[in-house]
Amino acid sequence: MGQPLAACFTLISHAFGPFLTFRIMLSLLSLFTLYFHFVAARPPSVPLSFTRDQDFNRPFALSTDQSLFQAPTLHSPVEPPSLSLTAIPTTIFRPRSLDAFFQARSRSLKSAESEKVEWERVDVLGPNVEDRHTLAQLARMTGNAYALPGKKNWYDIDPAWNISFPFGWEDASEGFRGHVFLSSDNSTVVLSIKGTTIQGPTSKKDKYNDNLLFSCCCARVDFSWVFSTVCDCYAKHWRCDNTCLSEALIEDSLFYSVGVELVKNLTSLYPSSNVWLVGHSLGGALASLLGTTFGFPAVAFEAPGERLAAQRLHLPLPPAAPFSRVPAAPVTHVYHNADPIPQGTCTGFGSPCASAGYALETRCRLGKSIVFDTVGKLNWRVDVRKHPIREVILNVLEQEDVEWEEDAEVPQAKEEEDCVDCFKWEFGDFKDYV
């Protein structure tokens, strides 16, 4: 079915443009779902609870659209573990009115004035992030944001989720791309967002978003970066202009703005479905920012810290949970401690990130974090080559012979309260110096 869908997708995209194409194809996808569920007499499945019994590990190799610092590697098929994807009742904070949310954000951006946003506690079915197999399935969906079905770097997932719709692939330079996965009964929609690629048609826009969202000041790492910055907000002597940064972050070309429109389209087509967002690296940070905006559960794999980006985007944040000082964003970060990128340590002169032109300096996050101790448990060294999503899938989440935490399948998700980004920088109104 993948080739006819792809041909249909290409034909419609040329005729109607990306966003109308998105709505048309999702509608068609719903019809395909109904067909397989009723016409093909598919046995009914329990929503979000199933067991894999098929071989899903095919020989694996990267295409030229590679994730950040990822070298082509072949993996032999292995015996698949029994996997299940489970959902649990989850309480989240959601803006009572999206119009009021964006109005408050606009007022803060344009007038530096705050406006109260009302939040409501909502009980939804969210991913069970305490279940390692559920995280593994979500990580596979995340990995698929880098590929198209049928390609060698496509990860097989449970048949209940085999209906998916690609977005952002019709324009080779679009940048913001990935897949929408639908459960067999359309009760849950998973939006998977692609992260950074260093060799591919989206690379330029990926790097621009990385350096704007995760650098302290316009990707100005040191004097050698004076011609590589992404905005002109540096005000000398480690000072950076806040207003200038905010203006740079509201450009329509920024992936966050594109993602907002995409999620609006998705929710209008599936108003009664549970929506989850997932992503890796840059895609994980975007999933977090969009999940916080709309009040949808998000799982971010190996993502740089996005708390500073949320502040600069002037996003109203939900209230803190009881006994907490951190806003109760519906986000779970998943990363391991051999990856320097989510820890904000792949920085400075001579680092692999800086050498490749990336200023990934932030480390403070929204929500909670699940941190796998691969340095202690697997004797890994801190190395940026451990950043690709395949490392998380094959060597962390699907590693069966490692006890990551006593009496638990995964480490406990914790808030990162005492976290400071860009401590050596001074931010304020320095327009007279720019």
Domain residue ranges of the chain, discontinuous segments joined by +: 87-433
Cβ atoms within 10 Å of 425's Cβ, excluding its own = 14
pLDDT at 172: 73
The Cα–Cα gap between 387 and 364 comes to: 18
User: Is 1.10.1740 the CATH classification of the domain at 87-433?
Assistant: no
pLDDT of residue 65: 39
Tell me, yes or no, if 27 is annotated catalytic.
no
Tell me if 366 sits within 8 A of 310, measured CB to CB. yes
Residue 363 tokens read as 């480390």
Confidence of residue 284 (pLDDT cuts 50, 70, 90): very high
For residues 109 and 250, the answer to whether their CB atoms sit within 8 Å is yes
Q: Which residue has the higher pLDDT, 434 or 364?
A: 364
Higher-pLDDT residue of 48, 317: 317
Average pLDDT value for the chain: 80
Range in 22-31, 87-96, 397-406 with the lowest mean pLDDT:
22-31
Structure tokens at 376: 């202690």
Q: Which two structure tokens, joined as six digits, stand for 193?
A: 């967002």
Q: Supply the pLDDT for residue 431.
A: 63
CA-to-CA dists, residue 86 to 15, 83, 398, angstroms: 39, 10, 16
Q: pLDDT at residue 7 above 60? A: no
Q: In terms of pTM, does the model score above 0.85? A: no
What angle, rounded to 10 degrees, do the helices at 255-269 and 282-294 form? 50
Across the strands, what pairs with 91?
123
User: Token digits for 189?
Assistant: 């929609």
Are residues 146 and 194 in contact, defined by beta-carbon separation less than 8 angstroms?
Answer: yes
Q: Name 409's bridge partners.
A: none
Distance between start and end Cα atoms, the chain: 56
Model pLDDT for residues 344-378, shown as the tens digit of each residue: 999 877 889 988 888 899 999 999 999 999 999 99
Q: Transcribe 181-222 into DSSP letters.
A: EE-TTSSEEEEEE---EEESTTHHHHHHHHHHHSSSSTT--S
> What one-letter code names the amino acid at 357?
G
Mean pLDDT lowest among 113-117, 263-267, 387-391? 113-117
pLDDT at residue 146, as a whole number? 95
Catalytic residue (choose from 164, 281, 288, 369): 281
3-state DSSP call for residue 421?
coil
Identify whether the C-beta of residue 80 lies closer than 8 Å to the C-beta of residue 52.
yes
Is residue 4 pLDDT above 80, yes or no?
A: no
CA pair distance 301, 297, nearest whole angstrom:
14
